[in-house]
Amino acid sequence: MMMKRLKAALGAVTVGLLAGTSLAHAQGTEEDLIKRGEYIARLGDCVACHTALNGQKFAGGLSIKTPIGTIYSTNITPDPTYGIGTYTLQEFDDAVRRGVRKDGSSLYPAMPYPAFSRMTPEDTKALYAYFMHGVKPVAEKNRAEDITWPLSMRWPLSIWRSLFAPAPKAFTPAPGTDAEIARGEYLVTGLGHCGACHTPRGFAMQEKAMDAAGGPDFLGGGGVIDNWVAPSLRNDPVAGIGRWSEDDLFYFLKSGRTDHSAVFGAMADVVGWSTQYFTDDDLRAISKYLKALPPVPPSRGDYTYDASTAQALDAGNFSGNPGAKVYVEQCAMCHRNDGGGVGRMFPPLAGNSVVVTDNATSVAHIVVEGGILPPTNWAQSAVAMPGYKTALSDQQIADVVNFIRTSWGNKAPANVTAADIQKLRLDHNPIPVAGWNNPTAQTATWGLFGPQPYGAGWTFAPQTHTGVDSEQ
């Protein structure tokens, strides 16, 4: 009898230990899943768009201007009333990868669900676990979009989705693809949704290509976004990253600065709120993938530095060029007479792909408004450039922009006028470039819609946190 009781007691202890071990394992697995989801949220940069300026994390409210009006990002905290707290995993997947809300209506494609359609089920499940169990609920009511009827109707978006949004399908690399390149492709074309800004958009605001199979349009340079131009990420030696190494790309995404470039505008949010938190392996994979993309025809041949500009400036010879005089007096202290800048602080202007884009808006905008190179965990100093909209006249700004775009071997059009700068300064209109994707006020969208306050063009322009909020 005693032996039976002893065996029963031992059995109970064993079962209890096994149950406790199983519970601890389950808890550990759930915590690991939430942690994984938190990293995936960084990969997708969810926080930058779903957090208002000076707002609470993931509570929505960020203004996103579009060619048909202004929309506001939504509350994606697990609050059951205003957030996504009542979403099932399937409903969450439908929103993220299909662009369909819980009520069955379609999301605006400012939400990059065409890119997220490539997410794997494992990543979607981890992301769901994070938002449901790793994010603090915030009872913040969503703001209604500011779009005039009938353009505010959502049912046409279902037609847009059927025409332009890929059906959800987990990313699978082409057979024989290097594993590191495959990982980079998944991050660039999927979670990172780089094409949302860096790929031109078509007549219906759709990205013209979702991956390299779409040809040179893929990552070939986007439109004007909040008066910044997203440049080409293809290996064009002048207009793209053809002269960048994999290390250059790695350190740019990690710290926001290299010896020949510095982050600014909306990309500053991408680095500050997202890519600086990527693992080194993922940054290497992205860099390797971008450099492995098929070659594209060079838009302007190759770049060759021209020392004659520096020689003329050193000699004080402005040759009747008013822009050269403004440059020496206002810009050369940081960017130097040779246009070389100061490594990892003041970017070079000579051979800079942003300087020589067809659209001069980025250069003009930073001269007018100034800019901030944000601090990161890997480069903790913030560097600011002052705006010159009150220190220089519109004509002086136009002159110096044209000078920068045509000096040191830069071969961009010198066609910015004082009237262009006035419209940029007062009305926030971008520098006009004739054409469908970069229309002037006269040709914008074939007259179907008027030019938007932030500038005509088929793109989405979220507010930028840099200079307002610290990364969250």
Q: How far is CA 427 from the centre of its chain?
A: 24
Contacts with 158 (C-beta within 8 Å, 6 or more apart), sequence order? 106
From the list 122, 92, 123, the residue with the least C-alpha distance to 107 is: 92
Q: Is 465 annotated as a binding residue?
A: no
C-alpha 255/C-alpha 252 separation (Å) is 5
Q: Is 197 annotated as a binding residue?
A: yes
> In which element (H, E) is residue 66 found?
strand 63-66
Write the burial class of residue 224 (CB in 10 Å: 0-12 exposed, 13-18 middle, 19+ buried).
buried
Q: Is 334 annotated as a binding residue?
A: yes
Q: What is the DSSP string of 316-361?
A: T--TT-HHHHHHHHHTHHHH-TTS--BTTTB---TT-TTTTSS--H
Please state at what angle helix 179-186 crosses helix 280-292, rounded to 10 degrees: 90
Say if strands 63-66 and 69-72 run parallel, antiparallel, or are unpaired.
antiparallel
User: To which residue do tokens 């002052």 refer?
Assistant: 386
> In which element (H, E) is residue 371 found?
strand 371-373
Q: Is 46 annotated as a binding residue?
A: yes
**Contact criterion met (CB below 8 Å) for 323 and 400:** yes
Q: Is 133 annotated as a binding residue?
A: no
C-alpha 238/C-alpha 405 separation (Å) is 12
Q: Is 365 annotated as a binding residue?
A: no
From the list 334, 336, 343, 371, the residue with the least C-alpha distance to 257 is: 343
Cis peptide before 173 (omega within 30 of 0): no
Q: Is 335 annotated as a binding residue?
A: yes
The residue length of the chain stands at 472
Q: What is the DSSP string of 176-194?
A: T--HHHHHHHHIIIIIT-T
What is the three-class DSSP state of 261?
strand
Binding site membership: which residues?
46, 49-50, 194, 197-198, 331, 334-335
Binding site membership for heme c: which residues?
46, 49-50, 194, 197-198, 331, 334-335
